[in-house]
């Protein structure tokens, strides 16, 4: 099993950060295109919350995984 491919940790973390940024950008672009009178549209909230929520949770999870791997690497050298 040594030949198993392992994705670098920065790839999924960057993907989740891009999800967060795209959620925020989606909301503000919607406001710019359709005006402030449509800021409380439930569809806009739904998409924004999903993108921002998955982005925040995913980035947090992969930050924790990286911290764990760094701690394990430090303990191996001790």
Q: What's the chain's length in residues?
A: 78
Q: Which residues span the domain enclosing 47?
A: 11-72
In a domain, 3, yes or no: no
> In total, how many domains does the chain have?
1
Please name the residues in contact with 52: beta carbons below 8 A apart, sequence gap of 6 or more: 19, 20, 23, 24
Tens digit of pLDDT for each residue in 21-31? Answer: 999 999 999 98
Higher pLDDT, 4 or 50: 50
Distances (CA, A) of 5 to 1, 9, 11, 16: 9, 12, 14, 21
Tens digit of pLDDT for each residue in 6-46? Answer: 888 889 989 999 999 999 999 999 989 988 787 788 888 99
In a domain, 6, yes or no: no
């Amino acid at each position: 099993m040594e030949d198993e491919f392992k994705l670098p940790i920065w790839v999924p973390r960057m993907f989740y950060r891009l999800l967060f940024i795209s959620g925020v950008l989606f909301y503000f672009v919607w406001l710019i295109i359709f005006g402030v009178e449509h800021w409380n549209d439930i569809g806009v909230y739904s998409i924004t919350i999903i993108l921002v929520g998955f982005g925040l949770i995913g980035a947090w999870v992969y930050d924790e995984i990286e911290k764990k791997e760094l701690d394990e690497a430090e303990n191996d050298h001790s």
